[in-house]
């Protein structure tokens, strides 16, 4: 995978006051029983997306095996799965969607929300001090392996959901989370934001659209 280099002009603030955007005081429920959090001038979902249908009500096909996931990817059809195809993982991690679900014109994000682009992810990271170092503030305080837990100072509550690659063999639960962006990179690849358990920085990558990744939405 090729890491995207991003040049940022970051205002350095000597002391950051976190009470304006931290914790339960700034969270509320999104329709569909999801939690939202206000971070700076943005409102984000504080949980991974967990919907089974598009905005117009059409169902998104669920995939229940690695073999089926690979077949769906070859057909370039929208789909979702649970990590390891186990519904109990949906409680912790939400659902994993391929790019074809994310980019479907029927709309994956609930009404009033959208899939963030790189500029919106960068705005979020900049508010927390920049791409370098903000990962720790975005990660949840538990569930990450090898001392990878974050502080969740932001209230974003990033969970180590792992992902489903092109062959459907889910991996990296407890180690990483990959969250789709709204822009494609090429006919086969699209951009996503990655948080890693053993890193304090936020990374942007592009990789196959047939992956199953988490989704976080930002309010319109």
Q: List the domain boundaries for the chain.
A: 34-219
Average pLDDT over residues 112-138: 97
DSSP-derived secondary structure letter, 159: -
Element holding 36 (H helix, E strand): strand 34-39
Q: Over the stretch 71-98, which tens digit does the pLDDT of each residue have?
A: 999 999 999 999 999 999 999 999 999 9
Annotate 118-147 with DSSP letters as a single string: HHHHHHHHHHTT-TTTTHHHHB-SSS-STT
Please report the pLDDT score of residue 7 as a whole number.
31
Owner of token pair 């939400």: 94
Any residues with CB less than 8 A from the CB of 132 and at least 6 apart, and which?
A: 200, 201
- Compute the average pLDDT of residues 122-132: 96
Task: List phi, psi (to 5°) of 102.
Answer: -60, -40
Nearest to 50 by CA among 204, 138, 135, 159: 159
Tell me what the pLDDT averaged over the chain comes to. Answer: 88
């Amino acid at each position: 995978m090729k890491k995207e280099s991003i040049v940022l002009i970051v205002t350095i603030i000597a002391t950051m006051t976190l009470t304006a955007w931290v914790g339960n005081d700034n969270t509320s429920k999104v329709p569909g029983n999801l939690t939202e959090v206000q971070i700076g001038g943005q409102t984000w979902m504080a949980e991974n997306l967990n919907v089974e249908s598009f905005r117009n009500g059409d169902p998104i096909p669920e995939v229940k095996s690695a073999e089926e996931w690979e077949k769906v990817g070859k057909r370039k059809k929208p789909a979702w799965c649970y990590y390891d195809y186990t519904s109990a993982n949906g409680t912790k991690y939400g659902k994993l969607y391929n790019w074809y679900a994310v980019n479907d014109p029927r709309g994956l994000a609930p009404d009033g929300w959208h899939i963030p682009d790189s500029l919106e992810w960068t705005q979020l990271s900049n508010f927390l001090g920049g791409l370098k170092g903000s990962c720790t503030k975005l990660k949840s305080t538990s569930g990450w392996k090898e001392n990878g837990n974050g502080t969740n100072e932001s209230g974003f509550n990033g969970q180590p959901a792992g992902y489903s690659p092109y062959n459907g063999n889910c991996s990296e639960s407890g180690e990483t989370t990959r969250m789709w962006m709204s822009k494609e990179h090429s006919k086969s690849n699209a951009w996503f934001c990655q948080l890693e358990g053993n890193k304090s920085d936020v990374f942007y990558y592009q990789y196959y659209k047939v992956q199953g990744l988490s989704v976080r939405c930002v309010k319109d």
